[in-house]
Each structure stands twice: as structure tokens, then as C-alpha cells.
Structure 1
Amino acid sequence: MGDWVVRMIEQSGYLGVAFLMFLETIFPPIPSEVIMSVSGVAAAKGQMSLGWAIASGTAGAMLGNIVWYLAARALGIIRLKPFIDRYGRWLTMDWAEVQRAERWFRANGTFFVFLGRMLPTVRSLVSVPAGLLKMRFKTFFIASTIGTAGWTAALAYAGFMLRERFNEVDDWIGPISNAILATMVLGYLWRVIRFRPAN
């Protein structure tokens, strides 16, 4: 995966960075840690500007974020009601909880989107609840852009500083991603065990 990313960035420059980050957002297994770190290494070698590499990565990721947001918004939470009513136990929510989530999201959605964009594993999923719960596009766009820019800048700068040792970025972020994923799985199992639908 890493070699393919390196070749794409070497051959396509900023467009390659943007395209890879778009793919990473649509297909999360493609790691942004590698993409932006390699971009930072290229900037350190003088092959591209660090600022433009960050801007390209942010733009590509944001395009993917918007695709997910629009798809989720077009679907809408109301259309999921029969599915939630039928499989609520395994989704660990009933319709009353969905309505509570809507109220919470109206009050805290901006911070949720901003912070979520800067968390490994979670960052690619943030657009879905924002779209389903019909968060204002302007608010979504601004919060997402700031969070995404922060994430891409941190990774690119790490690659810029580490240069050929850019794999060390994944050595740090990998365990964090695994810890977040494990927490999500354990939290889900706990909710399944404790789930009691509202009467």
C-alpha cells in the first residue's frame, strides 16, 4: 500500500494527494496516515510545497466528506425508522433514542464534527450522522474543513520532520486507532447487553 501511495504522489503531485485523500474518505482502509506523511516527505525533499500538500489533502478529503454527507442527508433518518424499529436491539437504539440524539446533535453537532475529523477511525464516519440528522451544510462544511485541515496538517508536518522515517507516524497512530476501535466494539457490546427499548 505504501509503495503505491508513494508512486501516485511522485507521478501526480498535488492531484495525486487530493485523489488519494478522497479515496481514503470513501474507503477508510486506505490510510491517511501514509498519504499525508508521504506528502510531507515529498515537501521536505523540495518536490512540493508543504502548504499546498496540506491544502490538496484537505480538499480531497472534504470532497469525500461531502459525498457521504449528501448521501446520508438524501436518505434521511425518517426512512430508517422501520429498520430501527425492527433491529433496534442490534443497533442498540430505539426511535425515542434517535429523537434524543437529534436534540443533542442540534446543540453539540458542530463540536462533534470538528473533533471527530481529528480522531483516527472515527473521522471517516462523522459525515453520516451529520447528514442523517440534517445538520446545516454551512455548519458541517466549516467544522469539517477546520478539523480535516488540522488532521492533514499534523500528518504532513510529521512526515516533513521525520522524512524517511515517516513510518513512525503509523507506529504512534496505529495503537491509538486500535484503542479507539476496541473501545467502540466494547461500548457496542455493552449497549447490546444493557439495551431495553422504551415502552
Structure 2
Amino acid sequence: MTSLIEKFIDQASYIAIFLLMLLENVFPPLPSEIILSISGITAAQGEMNPFFAVLSATSGSLAGAGFWYWVGNKVGHDRLEKWVSRNGMWIGLSDESYQKALRFFHRHSTAAVFWGRMVPTFRTFISIPAGLVKMKLTKFLIYTFIGTLTWSSLVFFIAYYFGNKYQSAFDTVGKVFNIIFAGLLLFYVVKVIRSWVQKRRK
């Protein structure tokens, strides 16, 4: 899987990073850590400008967050809660994680939007309660952008630094990423099956 991501980035460069980060926000089992790390390593080979790459990643993530904000804003709490109960498992969103996101947002509000961007899975769905309570859009976008830029820069430039230092380790890194992605995908499948079984029992 990581080889496909790497090829896509090689071929489409900044557009690929943007689209992958957008997809990551809609389909959490595709982790941004892998996308950003591969992008950082690719940039270390001199094939991309690192700052434009980070900006593309941040923009893609911001677009994905905006999508979930729009969903929360337009659909409303009751209909969204019913949808999550019936279909949330297909995007890795359980009733429990949905309620946790709501409670966390109500306690921390703007801080949740900023720090939530740095927590896997949670960063995707923290945008929903922001839309539900109709948080001011400009405020939401500013905090989301800063949080996403911080996280993207951190992961990207760590990979960029080590990519410059240890270019001979690319193959090993790719194998490690494949193992991580396979583990995350397996976790997602198990989670979906468990949610489906629980619903059948009810």
C-alpha cells in the first residue's frame, strides 16, 4: 500500500499530497503519519519543495476538516446521531467515539479543534461537533489550520531530516510503513466486524 502512495506522490507531487490528506480526513484507516513521512522522504530526495509539500498537506487536511464541519452544520445532531448509530462503523466512527468527541468539544471548544488535529482518528471527527454547535467558521478554520500545520510540519520534517541522513534506509522504512498500515487496516476491519456483531445482537 505504501508503494502505491509513494508512486502517487512521485507522479502527482503536491496534488497527490493534497488529495491523500483530504482522503485521510474522510477515511481514518489511511493515516496522515504515513502520508507525511513518505512525503518528507520524497522531498529529501530533492523531488519536491518541502515547504510547498507541507502547505499541500495542510490544505488537504483543512479541506477534509471543512467537509465534516459542513456535515455537522447541515445535518444536525439528531439525524447525525442516528446515521452514526447505523453507518458510522464503516468510517471507523462508533457511537462511543462520537459521544466522546462531543463531550471533549463541549469541555474544551477551540482548544479541542487545535489539539484534536494531532490525535489519530479524533482529528477527523472533532470537526463534527464544531459544525453542530455552529462554531464561527473563520475561527474554526484558523484553529484547524494552525493545528494541522503544526502537526504536518512536525511529522514531515522529522521524515525529511532522517531521509537526508539515511537515504539507504528507504527500503526498510517502506517495509515498516507497510506493516504499520496492515496493522491499522486489520484493526479497522476487526472494529467494523465487532460493531456489526454488536448491532446484530441488539
Return the letter of the residue paired with 2:60: G
Give the Cα separation in 1 of the matches to 2:64 and 2:52.
18
Gap change, CA 1:82 and 1:72, over 3 Å in 2 = closer
Indicate the residue corresponding to 2:3 in structure 1.
3
Indicate the residue corresponding to 1:127 in structure 2.
127
2:46 is paired with a residue whose SS is coil
Structure 2: tracts of 5 or more residues without a match:
84-93, 192-202
Which has a greater percent of helix?
2
Give the Cα separation in 2 of the matches to 1:162 and 1:140.
33
Structure 1: tracts of 5 or more residues without a match:
84-89, 186-199
User: Which has more radius of gyration?
Assistant: 1
Cα deviation per residue 1:81-119 (whole Å; 9 max; x = unaligned)? Answer: 889xxxxxx957xxxx9xx959x73x7311111000011
Indicate the residue corresponding to 1:27 in structure 2.
27
Q: CA deviation at 1:78?
A: 5.3
Provide the TM-score with structure 2 as the length reference. Answer: 0.69
Root-mean-square deviation (CA, aligned residues, Å) is 3.2
Q: CA deviation at 1:76?
A: 1.8
Asked if 2 retains the 8 angstrom alpha-carbon contact of 1:115 and 1:147, the reply is yes
Stretches of 4+ moved more than 2 A in 1? Answer: 77-83, 164-168
Gap change, CA 1:38 and 1:115, over 3 Å in 2 = same
Indicate the residue corresponding to 1:76 in structure 2.
76
Return the letter of the residue paired with 1:112: A
Gap change, CA 1:109 and 1:9, over 3 Å in 2 = same
The question of 1:13 aligning with 2:22 is answered no
Gap change, CA 1:148 and 1:45, over 3 Å in 2 = same
Equivalence map 1:141-160=2 (5 Å): 141-160=141-160
